[in-house]
Amino acid sequence: MKKIVIVLALAGAAFSAHAHRPWMVPTQTLIESDRETWVTIDGAVSEGLFDVDHMPLRMDGLSVINPDGTTSQAPAPMVGKHRAMVDVQLPKDGTYRFTLAATNVMGSYKLNGETKRFGRGGPSEVPPGATDVKTTTTVQRQDTFVTRNKTSTGALKPVGTGLEMVPVSHPNELHAGEKASFRFLLDGKPLANFPFSMIPGGVKYRGTANEVRLSTDANGEASFTLPAPNMYWLSAAYPANAPRGPGVEQPAKRYSYSATLEILPE
């Protein structure tokens, strides 16, 4: 029994947001150009934000939500040793959202007294006759936002499934010292008193993490003064503050959300 728990914990660790953080960073968040416009989205997994020193992010299946709200598929990524990258053309003015969403089912089972784990294949990997089947579903979502010339809101509409941040303040109009509001939803419903974090990049040059820990109010909305200019990694998990680590039973379904947001000087 103890073995199963450890296996589950390890399976959870592989997808948990702590220590190794998955991130996407666009080359620019606001592109002012009348010419052919491209943005490159870098994706990596690393401990320090936004250090390129560990492994590339799996960026297959990157969705592009266009200014008019329609969704298209990003081209296949180029995958390097340390980072992946995707070039995306922005044909029209307005705000684009880039979303990487995935649902993974992992777990373990017992067969002939032996504990085995299953991965991306999900429960279909479980052979007949297996007992003690345990599964953990992780629902992940990552966003970043890029505007060509003029901001728009067609791409910012909530999806209504999983854990998501709804930018009440426009994500490409964030300026240090100004007020901003974000809303968090789980399956389309507001999350009251829900904690989330914003961490600025460049910790290694600074020493201090400068993590900003925030929470939504009773209506599921957080209003706050934007911190110093930087590229920020916003992250949240549901259930919030769930205990993690070896020996801790994981909830059957977990949600994680992250977004890369740029806060500019005034």
Partner 1 sequence: MNLYRTLALTLPLVSSGAMAADLTVKFDLPQLNVAEYHKPYVAIWVERADQSVASTLAVLYDVKKPNNGGEKWVKDLRTWWRKAGRDAQLPIDGVSGATRAAGTQTLSFNGAKYGLDKLPAGDYKLVIEAAREAGGRELVRVPFSWPAKGKLAANAAGKEELGAVSIAVQ
Site residues for partner 1 per CB under 8 A? 32, 173, 264-266
Q: Which residue's structure tokens are 């299946």?
A: 61
Minimum CB distance to partner 1 smaller for 56 or for 94: 94
To partner 1, the closest distance from the beta carbon of 149 in angstroms equals: 9
Minimum CB distance to partner 1 smaller for 34 or for 114: 34
To partner 1, the closest distance from the beta carbon of 105 in angstroms equals: 45
Contacts 24+ apart (CB under 8 A), 148-152: 148/31, 148/33, 148/37, 148/90, 148/92, 148/93, 148/94, 148/96, 149/31, 149/32, 149/33, 149/93, 149/94, 150/93, 150/94, 151/94, 151/95, 152/67, 152/93, 152/94, 152/95
| Residue 70: partners with Cβ closer than 8 Å, 6 or more residues away | none
To partner 1, the closest distance from the beta carbon of 155 in angstroms equals: 20
To partner 1, the closest distance from the beta carbon of 262 in angstroms equals: 13
The phi and psi torsions of 155 (rounded to 5 degrees) equal -90, 0
Minimum CB distance to partner 1 smaller for 173 or for 217: 173
To partner 1, the closest distance from the beta carbon of 261 in angstroms equals: 17
To partner 1, the closest distance from the beta carbon of 29 in angstroms equals: 13
Minimum CB distance to partner 1 smaller for 59 or for 90: 90
- Rounded to whole angstroms, the Cα distance separating 160 from 188 reads 4
- Rounded to whole angstroms, the Cα distance separating 74 from 170 reads 23
Minimum CB distance to partner 1 smaller for 67 or for 107: 67
Minimum CB distance to partner 1 smaller for 32 or for 53: 32
- Rounded to whole angstroms, the Cα distance separating 80 from 228 reads 32
